[in-house]
Structure 1
Amino acid sequence: MTTTMTQPGADGARPSRATMKDVARLAGVSIKTVSRVVNGEPGAGDAVRQRVLAAADRLDYRHNHGASTLRRKDARSGIVGALLQDVGNSFSAGLLRALEDALRGAGLSVLAASLDEEPERERGIVADLVARRADGLVLMPASRRHEYLISEYRAGLPLVFVDREPHGLDCDSVTVNNHGGALAATAHLIAAGHRRIAMLSDLHDIETAVQRRAGYRAAIDAAGIAFDPALLVHSVRSEQEAAEVVTRLLALADPPTAILAGRNIITIGSVRALRTAGLIHQVALVGFDDFPMADLVEPGLTVVRQDVRRIGAEVSRILLDRLGGSIAPPQHVVLEPSLVLRGSGEIRPGPQARTR
């Protein structure tokens, strides 16, 4: 059937949107029949259903899902809220796309928001999504405790935590072995001969940052290397801050010969500083998190890669199970990251480097 776009009237006024009553009149059925068809309810034969859909198409009718949800207490909104730290960051953006791809087939749309490590912002957005009757929430929390979600969880709202575990609430989660990833990265640098290994980390109390710092320390201790607190810098929040920190570290009397960057924006800032200093081929660098074009810089960046698509697939699987009525005990999925070798992490310390 050919659909013709409705044009504004001669006076330039915007025409009113077609209503369910208009569709019923054109299809020659009752408003209740139209309601059954557009809401996917039984009670209308195939021929009637096709007639209603054809009338709706001809009139450019758009169903008001929000209104029907308010009328039907058991109805779903078709919306899943995804509260991530920064949808502009490549990790969060990749995770969001993976969620969209996995949930679209189930007729669900993803409404995303950035939390920016602000607990109050998190609570406000959660309250807004609950008021809008979101079918479920995917949460990369900024808050440290999550008891405030207990009432919604008990009421049946599916909650899946991602990247960070829930605290004060036992619900589903999908995380990565951050400790193991950082330990493997640091051990890789140690195996290449490095003893002066710096680490730049995120905010002091972010769970993933704590775990990555612990992995770094575990590898240093296991190798019998004396820990130098000057080489572990936390609360690095931007590319610019990372570049400034690396520049200061390179100016030490005994500078690092290798760097572990605790997240992707820190890696980018570290690359800028090393390139500015002319040391991009002399100081080894391993980043936590892969990102687009990390393989195109020279040398290619060695990274601890989190499989973002698998993370999104696991989150979606659990969420769809809950929406399908699963009452199984909470699942706590921990995925293993992988070390991707591209060159920057395989640079060996120069002959001038001190051994300790």
Structure 2
Amino acid sequence: MSRRPTMHDVARIAGVSAKTVSRVVNNETPVDPLTRARVQQAIAELGFRRNEQARSLRPGQTSALIGLVTGDLGNPFYSAIARGIEDVAHRRGHLLLTTSSDERPDRERQLIDALLQHNIEGLIIVPTLGQHDYLSPAFLRGLPVVAVDRPVHTHPPLDTVLLDNRHGAALAVTSLLQAGHTRVAVIDGESAVFTGAERIAGYHDAHRQQKVTPDATLLRQGFHGETQAETAMTDLLDLPAPPTAVFATNNRIAIGALNGMHRRKHWIPLAVFDDFDLAGMLPTPVTVVAYDAVEMGRQAAELLFARLDGLSADPQVRTLPVTVHQRGPGNLAVN
């Protein structure tokens, strides 16, 4: 066995439940002497070691650990993913350690190394840009890994859970084009990030399908977070021929775009890949691409625990569906 053996491995070899293994490992009673001997033999065969770091987190608890590395837990999207993972982890008797990379590859690697030192049994990651040699089986000692929201190009590939980014973006932008908007701007963050690239592709798909030629001067990429997106929005509204609608590729960018409209006192319809609180109370129509981020986390965790249970099938890529909804005032038409 290339990875570190777990209680579930011991339970499978001994033909008992993980709870029984836990009782034996922690010298709890009651455990039948013959059952205890069988568990102890399986422990010796596998070289199982109790996870002391996990036990120290909650005195009296024997839960194992799984790790999560996201971009920023302050973002409700990542918090929802973490909640979904935690739901499954709790059901399986595990604790979840959550960390934020701040989208920095160097920090991501440091965090993964720190999680390994805590003897995590599995890892779920929202990967940063760049190479991921540290997600190789050699570096991770066979630890199972699942990528969520963005794929990772590794060999062998990883189990991955994604959203239907391109199709969702195309649906949202199509709603603007069909309402008569031929000058639809787009504000995006890092163009090399998988989610942004897919959503930009969906923006162009919608224009092709509706036979509208997009104006390249209305494309804004490299604007991260609310402050930069606000700057992008005000610049767009200051153009000699400003856009009549705008597509924001995520929730943080959408907030910045709305702040820019507020600053200029110039409201135009907004489409955004994300739903967000109070979208229906804004003074301009908002088209949102909605999805279940908690379910993304649950599915990522289910894949991880399937690997921990011994699944050896080829890596899976699961793509979750999205839906488009109208918020705020109902009239999308060009003023």
TM-score range with shorter-chain normalisation? 0.7 to 0.9
Residues 66 and 77 of structure 1 are in contact (CA less than 8 Å); yes or no, is this contact kept in structure 2? no
1:227-286: CA deviation from partner (whole Å, max 9, x where unpaired): 211111011112111111111111111110000011101111111222232233xx1101
Residues 63 and 93 of structure 2 are in contact (CA less than 8 Å); yes or no, is this contact kept in structure 1? no
Equivalent residue for 2:271? 286
Tell me by how many angstroms 1:152 deviates. Answer: 4.4
The one of 200, 205, 213 aligned to 1:226: 213
How far apart are the structure 1 equivalents of 2:118 and 2:329? Answer: 47
Query: What percentage of residue pairs aligned between the two structures are identical?
Result: 32
- Residue 106 (1) aligns with residue 92 (2): yes
Higher relative contact order (CA 8 A, sep 6+): 2
Aligned amino acid, residue 144 of structure 1: G
What secondary structure, in the 3-state scheme, does the structure 2 residue paired with 1:41 have? helix
Superposition pairs of residues 9-20 of structure 1, within 5 angstroms: none
How far apart are the structure 1 equivalents of 2:29 and 2:134? Answer: 46
User: How does the TM-score come out when normalised to structure 1?
Assistant: 0.76
What secondary structure, in the 3-state scheme, does the structure 2 residue paired with 1:145 have? coil
User: How does the TM-score come out when normalised to structure 2?
Assistant: 0.80
What secondary structure, in the 3-state scheme, does the structure 1 residue paired with 2:23 have? coil
- Structure 1 residue runs of 5 or longer lacking an equivalent are 1-35, 49-63, 70-75, 351-356
Equivalent residue for 1:117? 103
How far apart are the structure 2 equivalents of 1:333 and 1:246? Answer: 34
Equivalent residue for 1:58? none
Tell me by how many angstroms 1:44 deviates. Answer: 5.9
The one of 222, 236, 240 aligned to 2:223: 236
Tell me by how many angstroms 1:40 deviates. Answer: 2.0
The one of 158, 178, 186 aligned to 1:171: 158
Aligned amino acid, residue 276 of structure 1: R
How far apart are the structure 1 equivalents of 2:175 and 2:311? Answer: 42
- Residue 305 (1) aligns with residue 293 (2): no
Superposition pairs of residues 59-70 of structure 1, within 5 angstroms: 65-66=51-52
The one of 316, 322, 331 aligned to 1:331: 316
- Residue 90 (1) aligns with residue 76 (2): yes
Cα distance 1:38–1:222, how it changes in 2: closer, same or farther (>3 A)?
closer
Superposition pairs of residues 133-282 of structure 1, within 5 angstroms: 133-152=119-138, 155-169=141-155, 170-280=157-267
Equivalent residue for 1:18? none
Residues 24 and 31 of structure 2 are in contact (CA less than 8 Å); yes or no, is this contact kept in structure 1? no
How far apart are the structure 2 equivalents of 1:124 and 1:181? Answer: 34
Larger Rg: 1
Residues 65 and 122 of structure 2 are in contact (CA less than 8 Å); yes or no, is this contact kept in structure 1? yes
Count of paired positions? 293
Cα distance 1:102–1:92, how it changes in 2: closer, same or farther (>3 A)?
same
Residues 202 and 237 of structure 1 are in contact (CA less than 8 Å); yes or no, is this contact kept in structure 2? yes
Tell me by how many angstroms 1:316 deviates. Answer: 1.5
Tell me by how many angstroms 1:343 deviates. Answer: 3.2
Residues 301 and 341 of structure 1 are in contact (CA less than 8 Å); yes or no, is this contact kept in structure 2? yes
How far apart are the structure 2 equivalents of 1:87 and 1:345? Answer: 33
Residues 166 and 200 of structure 2 are in contact (CA less than 8 Å); yes or no, is this contact kept in structure 1? yes
- Residue 343 (1) aligns with residue 324 (2): no
Residues 226 and 252 of structure 2 are in contact (CA less than 8 Å); yes or no, is this contact kept in structure 1? yes
Tell me by how many angstroms 1:317 deviates. Answer: 1.1
Which shifted more, 118-127 or 284-293? Answer: 284-293
Residues 189 and 346 of structure 1 are in contact (CA less than 8 Å); yes or no, is this contact kept in structure 2? no
Tell me by how many angstroms 1:37 deviates. Answer: 8.8
Residues 129 and 193 of structure 2 are in contact (CA less than 8 Å); yes or no, is this contact kept in structure 1? no
What secondary structure, in the 3-state scheme, does the structure 1 residue paired with 2:271 have? strand
What secondary structure, in the 3-state scheme, does the structure 2 residue paired with 1:79 have? strand
What secondary structure, in the 3-state scheme, does the structure 1 residue paired with 2:298 have? helix
Tell me by how many angstroms 1:347 deviates. Answer: 2.0
**Superposition CA RMSD, Å:** 2.7
Superposition pairs of residues 64-83 of structure 1, within 5 angstroms: 65-66=51-52, 78-83=64-69
What secondary structure, in the 3-state scheme, does the structure 1 residue paired with 2:68 have? strand
